[in-house]
Structure 1
Amino acid sequence: MPLATHSATADLTAELIACHSITPADGGCQQVIAGRLKALGFEIETVISGPADFSVTNLWAIKLGKLGKAGKVFVFAGHTDVVPTGPLDKWDSNPFTPSERDGYLFGRGAADMKTSLAAFVVATEEYVRSNPNHADTIAFLLTSDEEGPAHDGTVVMCERLKKRGQALDYCVIGEPTSVNRLGDMIKNGRRGSLSGKLNVKGIQAHIAYPHLGANPIHLAAGAIATLASTEWDQGNGYFQPTTFQISNIHAGTGANNIIPGEMTVEFNFRFSSASTPEALRAKVSAILDEAKLDYAIDWKLGASPFLTPKGALALALQEAIQTETQVVTELSTTGGTSDGRFISQICKEVVEFGPINSTSHKLNECVSINDIEPLKNIYRRVLENLLA
């Protein structure tokens, strides 16, 4: 689906946007990408995982360099799935019909992250054709399960690669990290996510006879206030302090004359590398024990924090950004979780970089057409800066 811009990267972006890939569907995106990579000499492996009614498509593509296993391994990683569109009548154009307006390319996935995927591919095509005898290895790791539960995507592929002994040296994930201008922010880590579901027991009774009951809301109020006001850590040079937030509280039957017999509180920690899940759980339990509550907590560790200190990859990306855009970029660990939490388990250096994030997951999601070629050029320059 060629655009008026006649840019190979923009045209591929449009082709990927046109693929209906609402998570966990891939919509044919990986087939398009695999075809382009196979033409360059990449070995292609497609892995279908997950239950039959929620199957996930994963792609591992690799092109060994002249050094073979002795060389460095550089990986472009990302996801082909997108979030649901929301009400179609609220879009100014069909979200799966790429449309150009006012200097922007509109469509679901334009920012998150089909432009990055297209830029990965075209950057790799340009690099390989200019460096047919490259010594180091280039690979792609893609999934259609990033916007969903993330149970059958990158985490599964990383386990497979780990069992094979496939080490990775550098990984760029194409998440949309820029804020105001292309290149103004790189993510070199992410906070961890630890969720808890607290159940506090009381005694149900008629509200007119409180001496016959025990109101769990009243019993837990002081402890909840303490949890909300506690300083969990002070962060560090890369991470903000750990935060505690309550997302839901439920108690009662709906009647206004019954003291509830129990209360449920759902909460989440976004935690820095200055804390551990074990320490956070222990501190919460100590506060609740001090209040002498009858309680139970169901814990779920969604992600551990990961961090890539400033090293070869971050420096190469910063240099590429400044050369291409004259922007001095900022390293950041803000935002939610990403598949970097899985890749960092098998890769020495992991960073995220992509287009401006302001319209991701929104109606009329878009990317500036003027940013598409510079993004591709930045990715190509990183390959040139890092690989032999």
Structure 2
Amino acid sequence: MSRASTPVIDPVELTRDLIRRPSVTPADAGAMDVLEKALTALGFTCRRMPFENIENLYARRGTASPNLCFAGHTDVVPTGPAEAWSAGPFEAEVREGVIYGRGAVDMKGGIAAWVGAVSRILAEGEPEGSLSFLITGDEEGPALHGTKRVVEALMAEGEVIDACIVGEPSSAQRLGDMIKVGRRGSLNTWITVHGKQGHVAYPDRAANPAPVLARLLARLDAHTLDEGYPEFPPSNLEITTIDIGNPATNIIPAEARARLNIRFNPTHTGDGLIDRLNREAGEAQAASGLRIELEHLCSGEAFLTQAGDFVGAVQTAVEQSLGVRPEASTTGGTSDARFIRALCPVLELGLVGQTMHQIDERVPEAEVRALSETYEAVIRAVTRRLSAK
């Protein structure tokens, strides 16, 4: 594709086009079509990779190394009551220079900013190496058939990605003040204690699961998992629900259930924590004589992208573009970076996240344009650094 025929894409208009697609997980609503059309016009080879009912896209321009990837998601969380919004959540209305709409910050604005940056680079000439996009429609949901499946497929095919920027809204107070270089792991556990139902006046004829569950939860809650890890806070276990569902006042229940979540740093692995929970439950079962069942789902392991050429190049590019050197942080929840780290070094850089998932999610047009310019500087800096290796 010649420079003359390479379109320069306006990141603000692309943001609005994407917002107009009501892509609430798992619906795509045409959002991936909008993105594919823009990337095809820029000379990318686009490959749709659907898994189950989820739309995914891997697009690449060039075959040479290094391959710098941008990852993100077109799916969004539900809007909540539409009447509570000051503008339609999928109308992408602009008022006083601010774009309103679900996904404006998380993260359709980030995707559009990177596309705009790539278009300007290509209009000037060929970049060093290759550029690629890994976009999913399953980040805000269970995340079972999105980035995780795409990464597995790319690894099986031998696709090489040398570094990846995830466009999550990582900035805290002002654009560029923070990048995410790691994330804590997340483990959910469901606990069921099986007792025997009976009359409260005849406890000898029943087996109450409630106190067994209460003692087990108290023991788990009292245990200190660790004192922290370099760049990470201490791991924490939180009891998220306790359910017995007994409407009667004179019945000992047959079952008692609870759920907990552990956010853990690299001191632990998901399997290690599961083993410990199973041991604790086994001891409680042996002491009480009641059967205790545990189900576990580890949605991501903890990871850390170490300081070095990649992280340093991004920090320097952001500082030169925005006048602030971003803090390298591991705060917050999980992101799809937890899957991409199996392919290559990964970090997150994006918009200010203060209105994400809120009513009237919004982003200033100027911030989208500033992020796009910063992404342009990042692309140039990272590809130059990677090519020099």
Task: Provide the TM-score with structure 2 as the length reference.
Answer: 0.91
- The match for 2:158 is 165
Q: Cα deviations across residues 317-345 of structure 1 (Å, max 9, x unaligned)?
A: 21122112212211111222211121111
| Aligned residue number for residue 3 of structure 2 | none
Conserved in 1, the CA contact under 8 Å of 2:66 and 2:129?
Answer: yes
Query: Structure 2 counterpart of 1:195, which letter?
Result: N
Please list the CA deviations of residues 318-375 of structure 1 after superposition, one character each: whole Å capped at 9, or x if unmatched: 112211221221111122221112111112x101111111111111110122211110
Please say if residues 36 and 46 of structure 2, whose CA atoms lie closer than 8 Å, have aligned partners that are also in contact. yes
Q: Give yes or no for the alignment of 1:370 onto 2:372.
A: no
* Residue aligned with 2:230, SS: coil
| 2:48 matches 1:46 | yes
Q: Which amino acid aligns with 2:34?
A: V
Distance across 2 between alignment mates of 1:119 and 1:252: 49
* Stretch deviating more after TM superposition (84-93 or 202-211): 202-211
Confirm or deny that 1:257 pairs with 2:247: no
Counterpart pick for 2:340 among 340, 343, 359: 343
Structure 2: state its 5+ residue gaps.
1-8, 385-389
Which residue in the other structure is 1:321 paired with?
A: 318
Secondary structure of the residue aligned to 2:204 is: helix
Please tell me whether residue 107 in structure 1 is matched to residue 101 in structure 2.
yes
- Gap runs ≥5 in structure 1: 1-6
2:314/2:382 contact within 8 Å kept: no
Letter of the structure 2 residue corresponding to residue 128 of structure 1: L
| Helix, strand or coil at the partner of 1:387 | helix
Moved more, 39-48 or 223-232: 39-48
Residues 239 and 333, structure 1, Cα contact 8 Å, conserved in 2:
yes
Report % sequence identity.
39
How far did 1:47 drift? 2.1
1:221 maps to a residue whose letter is: A
The C-alpha deviation readout for 1:145-188, integer Å capped at 9, x for no partner, is 11122222111211221111001111011111111111111111
RMSD: 1.7
Q: 1:102 offset after TM fit, Å?
A: 4.0
What code does the residue aligned with 2:179 have? I
8 Å Cα contact 1:42-1:62 kept in structure 2: yes
User: Which residue in the other structure is 2:269 paired with?
Assistant: 276
Report SS of the residue matched to 1:328: coil
Q: Work out whether 1:308 is the aligned partner of 2:305.
A: yes
Number of aligned residues: 372
Q: What is the correspondence of 1:1-388 to structure 2 with a 5 Å cutoff?
A: 8-50=10-52, 55-64=53-62, 68=64, 71-132=65-126, 134-291=127-284, 292-293=287-288, 294=290, 295-347=292-344, 349-388=345-384
Structure-2 separation of matches of 1:346 and 1:173: 13
Distance 1:248 1:123 in 2: 45
- Please tell me whether the aligned partners of residues 13 and 118 of structure 1 are also in contact (alpha carbons under 8 angstroms): yes
Counterpart AA for 1:87: P
SS in 2 for 1:48: coil
Tell me the amino acid that sits aligned with residue 56 of structure 2: N
Alignment partners' CA distance in 1, 2:245 and 2:17: 52
Verify the 8 A CA contact 1:252 1:258 in the aligned structure 2: no
Once the two structures are TM-superposed, the CA of residue 235 in structure 1 deviates from its matched residue by: 2.2
Cα deviation, 1:76-121, whole Å, max 9, x if unaligned, reads 1101111121111111111111122244210111011011011010
CA contact (8 A) 1:82 1:147 kept: yes
Give the conservation status (yes or no) of the 8 Å contact 1:252–1:261. no
The TM-score with structure 1 as length reference comes to 0.91
